[in-house]
Structure 1
Amino acid sequence: MAKYYSKWEKALGRWRALRLSLVNRQIHPKAEIICSHLYGTDKIAIGERSWLYYCRVRVSSHSKYIHIGARTKVECNAFLNAHKGYITIGSRCFVGPNVIIQGFGGVEIGNHVMIAGNTFISSSNHIFEGVPADEFLDREEGAKVVIHDDVWIGSNVTITAGVEIGPRCVIGAGSVVTRSIPAGSVAVGAPAKVVKSIPL
């Protein structure tokens, strides 16, 4: 752990989690929140021994919640934004640097999921057809993204709204996932296609 942050930062992170846990019982006092920005702490849950390192977690007043399980790591510059919806991340997960997760239509991530750096997960689309240009940014529709247990997502992957990735899948680096991926699959490419099966 020392390679990530100093003893002082570690102690400060533990103290901050303990202080927040006194106000919000959904934040475990043994979590570590190190130099991270949390907006809407009353709607955020963080499990035991999870640590957030120089990242942002945002739940606005019109959003639902963000729940992070136990022993999950969220790396530097990651941005979890509930954006009128919700995000759930299971236990023993890894969210790499610069990962963006947008929860407008809901994002559900299981246990033991690894998400490498610079990945973008979006649960919404803008409505373009038949919409005046000045209204385009305001017209948005959500579709839930589900990532099941034991999934490994490579770096620079984009996962679009409405996608479901089955258990024990691998998504190759740089892939664009526009359709659901069945359990036990290796998928690569843009758009991502299944190239191999993994024994379940």
Structure 2
Amino acid sequence: MKLIRAGISTIHRVTEGYKSRWRNLYYKVRGVNLNGYVWMRKIEIPRNFEDIEIESPCAIDRGVILLCSGEPLPHPKIYIGANTYINRNTFLDAILSLTIGKNCAVGPNCYITDHDHGHDSQLPPLNQPMLAKPTQIGNCVWLGANVTVLKGVTIGDRTIVGAGSVVTHELPADAVAVGVPARVLKYRN
């Protein structure tokens, strides 16, 4: 019985490996800049493939959405550094510049963006102009489950953001931040 389970497990891993390699090929042909092999489960990139750059090795889990909108720019709108893991059902939404550094861990169900809509009371929400500022997540950052990172935020290297937090302003390096809005609770060193 143990041998049968081991065989099934091996078949599953090999099958998932082939699917990941197929997704790499598909997205490279569509224009995504994959710098080497990226372990990729079933993800969604609806459009603007050429606006995305992902370093290798990197892992992107099931249900992740990488959405770039607007006119093409001379730089990637979404950049993901090497050795970073983007967990399930995370949504990266960019129109200007959203950067995630190397060796980061992004928990499940996170939302990270570089823009929002204006606040003109005379216009309906969907007619508001888009307001964008670069969002930057440093190296070795850990975002817990269900974290939201809003436009214009910079998160310093080695910072930890607790589950369910909403990051509305800059967080320094080596901080542990939690809450809505996220506030520095302590420093790691």
- TM-score range with shorter-chain normalisation? 0.7 to 0.9
Opposite residue 181 of structure 1, the aligned amino acid is L
Is 2:3 the counterpart of 1:17?
A: no
Is 2:188 the counterpart of 1:198?
A: yes
Whether the 8 Å contact between 2:24 and 2:38 is mirrored in structure 1 is: no
The residue aligned with 1:182 is 172
Is 2:160 the counterpart of 1:170?
A: yes
CA distance in 2, matches of 1:91, 1:51: 11
RMSD over aligned Cα, in angstroms?
Answer: 2.2
Return the offset for 1:64. 5.8
CA distance in 1, matches of 2:11, 2:91: 20
Return the offset for 1:47. 2.7
Is 2:43 the counterpart of 1:52?
A: no
Moved more, 7-16 or 90-99: 7-16
CA distance in 1, matches of 2:11, 2:154: 32
The residue aligned with 1:137 is 126
The residue aligned with 2:109 is 118
Q: State the aligned residue count.
A: 175
1:92 aligned counterpart, secondary structure: coil
1:124–1:5: structure 2 CA closer, same or farther, 3 Å change rule? farther
Return the offset for 1:45. 1.1
TM-score, normalization: structure 2? Answer: 0.84
1:57–1:196: structure 2 CA closer, same or farther, 3 Å change rule? same
CA distance in 1, matches of 2:10, 2:126: 42
1:191–1:108: structure 2 CA closer, same or farther, 3 Å change rule? same
Moved over 3 A (4+): 2-6, 15-21
Equivalent residues in 2 for 1:31-110, closer than 5 Å: 41-42=30-31, 44-60=32-48, 65-84=51-70, 86-110=77-101
Return the offset for 1:57. 2.1
1, 7, 26: which one aligns with 2:14: 7
Opposite residue 103 of structure 2, the aligned amino acid is H
More helix by share: 2
1:20–1:141: structure 2 CA closer, same or farther, 3 Å change rule? closer
Q: Percent identity?
A: 28
Return the offset for 1:130. 4.2
Opposite residue 162 of structure 2, the aligned amino acid is G
